[in-house]
Chain A
Amino acid sequence: MPWTKIRPDADEPDYGLDAAGHGRRLGHAAALREALSLALTLDERVFVMGQGVDDPGGMFGATRGLHQQFGGERVFDTPLAETALTGVAVGAALAGMRPVYLHNRPDFLFLALDQLANHAAKWRFMFGGAAPPVPLVVWACIGRGWGSAAQHSQALQGIFQHIPGLKLVMPSTCHDAKGLLLAAIGDDNPVVVIDHRFNFRNKGPVPEGPYYVPLGQGVVRRPGRDVTVAGFSHLVNDAFVAAEELAREEGIEAEVVDLRTIRPLDEALLLASLARTGRLVAVDTGWKTGGVAAELAAVAVEKGFAHLRAPVVRVTCPDLPTPAGYSLEAAYYVGKQQIKDAIRRLAAS
């Protein structure tokens, strides 16, 4: 697969949505594009910015052609100046606009951290609610795989998770990619959306017209009695496939919980699932130490200790930068196999 193009060639796991009559199937990029297009149509305050949003690739296809449809004033390319342009988005937001700033790698958000963490996240609180809100969406895509190496594939949700004042979203399905993005754009607060390139391979049921997946509401993708696997983004799909296979092959029934939003976190859903299974595999595409899986484990221990029948298991990338070489990459990333192993181990404990 050439690295610059992703063809939606895989169907999402069937979460039963088709059976519910949604019918139409769209690729992930098309779903995102539809969300942006609707947001631009429905609210004249919305504008879309980012390096390359108006180029032929159009941010993996998510913004393709939008500048032609809505004009270069509302969909525009940016200079390579992530710090200032994030501040520009913050300023525009507090002057009444609703900017959506897209990056094709989250790594670049380190350059934007001053404006994201020091300004956008603090603005409302810092002025005791007397300043205007900052309705800003920053979207970035984990560019994992194909030799991207240490500076182009970082999963930085653990860092954003740590900052009060930012909402943080990681969709796993095409349906949610659209509904969560629309909800994020409609939210009056700064929202970071971290997407994953692997999601872009998927096609799935996506309703037409606007709909909103509420931030902070997770969903059970597969019910089960033995083990809870909880996580975000494409690892939920991996967990689903792992669970299906284990059920078929070994009779282990894993419950798969897609939390969808990291902040605010749907703790109630996680704890309810733990109450059923008593065992937790926390999965994340990022690092282990102080990361998102660590936070899920902390919630389980802090608020669900009485339900726990075994120690929590974390499935994450190791605490290392990403190697470029494909044999090293294969050793670095986790997916279906590691989740399967973790479920199996935990179910036996």
Chain B
Amino acid sequence: MNDVKLALYRVMLRIRRVQERIEARYLEDHMKTPVHLCIGQEAIAAGVCLALGPGDSVQSNHRGHGHYLAKGGDLKALIAELHCKAGGCSGGFGGSMHLVDTAVGFLGSSSIVGGGIPIATGIGLAMRLRRADRVSVVFFGDGAADEGVLYESLNFAMLRRLPVVYVLEDNQWAVCSPRQGRQCGDNVFLRGADPDRLFAARLDGNDAVLVHAAAQTAVTRARSGAGPSLLVCDTYRILGHSGCKSQDPAGYRQDSEIEDWARRCPVARLRQSLVAEGLLAPAAEAALEAAIAREIDEAFAFAAASPLPDAANLSRHLFCE
């Protein structure tokens, strides 16, 4: 358990620091791609991905940096992709919203809201057809839960008892639209689903240990052939929808709301508990911070040094020959 907590903390802290560095440097305009930062939501990516093995797959969305890193995606390739360089994980063809690292089961991310939901369902179908003892996970927001494709996908996954874990990160906002203006109650589908067909849980998405435990339940269920799960994780997007903090339009949400949620910071919370339990000594913490900072420096240096994609390759990846 202590190992798990420490591992969760390492992953979350790394995601946080990477996001902060991107935030800090975004206005320099070397990253010419719209970034969607996940500061405040790290516990979900970390909690879920640490319950997975390398053969399990993840589908992600426009806010995917955390999912990518938590699943083990290469940091250098991420930062290079944010710079649209040839060394990026998508060779500069994807940008921040289209991350991929097949070596670790991160099979790609769609920037069409809800787009990854049926794809993850299909990956689950393939796992079932191939009798692979594997799990397919998809991360999406409360905005994506407005899309009908979620209900089509859940229905099919329940029907076929597919090994899919649907992770709804309910950060309450879709760009500048509050959830109350878009949905009745806290999502109609959850109430009607037969628990035998769907394990559904609503949980504090800022509690990494809790998320991890729920994810393990869902993953075990998937591996046993019992079928899909839907984890609705309450959380909050501390920064704006996209770009850096100074670019967030003012006036659509209350400062007090942001402050309330900042007090529930998932990273600080886990740190506190680790310190209180004597699991994170100051020296170890300093070493961890230093290692992460160094890794990020290296990633930015790698990105800066990486060449731009060769325009001669423009049409090379349309079809695979």
Contacts of A97 on B, CB cut-off 8 Å?
Answer: 125-126, 129-130
Which of B91, B93, B102, B149 sits near A87, CB closer than 8 Å?
B149
Q: Which of A126-134, A280-288, A290-298 contacts B (4 or more CB under 8 A)?
A: A126-134
Q: Say yes or no: is A299 at the interface (Cβ < 8 Å to chain B).
A: no
Q: Say yes or no: is B299 at the interface (Cβ < 8 Å to chain A).
A: no
Contacts of A99 on B, CB cut-off 8 Å?
Answer: 122
A-B contacts, 20 of them at CB < 8 A, read A47-B129, A74-B129, A91-B124, A92-B126, A94-B119, A95-B123, A96-B130, A99-B122, A118-B112, A119-B112, A127-B100, A127-B317, A128-B90, A130-B102, A131-B107, A164-B318, A165-B319, A188-B320, A189-B319, A189-B320
Q: Say yes or no: is A346 at the interface (Cβ < 8 Å to chain B).
A: no
A126-B90, A127-B93 are known contacts. Are A88 and B112 too (CB-CB below 8 A)? Answer: no
> B128-157: contact bitstring with A at CB < 8 Å (1 yes, 0 no)?
011000001000000000001100110110
Contact indicator B153/A128 (Cβ below 8 Å): no
Contact indicator B129/A125 (Cβ below 8 Å): no
A124 to B317, CA, bound (A): 6
Contact indicator B122/A125 (Cβ below 8 Å): no
Contact indicator B121/A88 (Cβ below 8 Å): yes
Expressed in whole angstroms, the minimum distance between the Cβ of B253 and any Cβ of chain A is 29
Q: Say yes or no: is A83 at the interface (Cβ < 8 Å to chain B).
A: yes
Q: Say yes or no: is B98 at the interface (Cβ < 8 Å to chain A).
A: yes
Contact indicator B110/A125 (Cβ below 8 Å): no
Task: Give the A interface residue count (CB, 8 A).
Answer: 42
Interface of chain A residues 168 through 195 with chain B (CB within 8 A) = 188-189
**Closest residue to A187 on the B side, CB-wise?**
B319
Contacts of A94 on B, CB cut-off 8 Å?
Answer: 107-108, 119, 122-123
A129 to B115, CA, bound (A): 19
Q: Say yes or no: is B191 at the interface (Cβ < 8 Å to chain A).
A: no
Contact indicator B93/A128 (Cβ below 8 Å): yes
Expressed in whole angstroms, the minimum distance between the Cβ of A157 and any Cβ of chain B is 19
Expressed in whole angstroms, the minimum distance between the Cβ of A29 and any Cβ of chain B is 26
Contact indicator A129/B120 (Cβ below 8 Å): no
Q: Say yes or no: is B206 at the interface (Cβ < 8 Å to chain A).
A: no
> A141-183: contact bitstring with B at CB < 8 Å (1 yes, 0 no)?
0000000000000000000000011010000000000000000
Contact indicator B125/A91 (Cβ below 8 Å): yes
Contacts of B92 on A, CB cut-off 8 Å?
Answer: 128
Contact indicator B117/A87 (Cβ below 8 Å): yes
A125 to B314, CA, bound (A): 9
Q: Say yes or no: is B159 at the interface (Cβ < 8 Å to chain A).
A: yes
Contacts of B93 on A, CB cut-off 8 Å?
Answer: 125-129
**Closest residue to B162 on the A side, CB-wise?**
A88
Contact indicator A81/B156 (Cβ below 8 Å): yes
A99 to B118, CA, bound (A): 14
**Closest residue to A128 on the B side, CB-wise?**
B91
Contacts of B320 on A, CB cut-off 8 Å?
Answer: 124, 129, 133, 188-189
Contacts of B227 on A, CB cut-off 8 Å?
Answer: none
> B276-313: contact bitstring with A at CB < 8 Å (1 yes, 0 no)?
00000000000000000000000000000000010000
Expressed in whole angstroms, the minimum distance between the Cβ of A7 and any Cβ of chain B is 35
Contacts of A189 on B, CB cut-off 8 Å?
Answer: 319-320
Expressed in whole angstroms, the minimum distance between the Cβ of A119 and any Cβ of chain B is 6
Contact indicator B118/A95 (Cβ below 8 Å): no
Expressed in whole angstroms, the minimum distance between the Cβ of B319 and any Cβ of chain A is 5
A87 to B112, CA, bound (A): 12
Contacts of A125 on B, CB cut-off 8 Å?
Answer: 93, 317-318
Which of A73, A91, A93, A133 sits near B118, CB closer than 8 Å?
A91
A125-B93, A128-B92 are known contacts. Are A86 and B118 too (CB-CB below 8 A)? Answer: yes
Interface of chain A residues 17 through 63 with chain B (CB within 8 A) = 47
Which of B101, B102, B153 sits near A88, CB closer than 8 Å?
B153
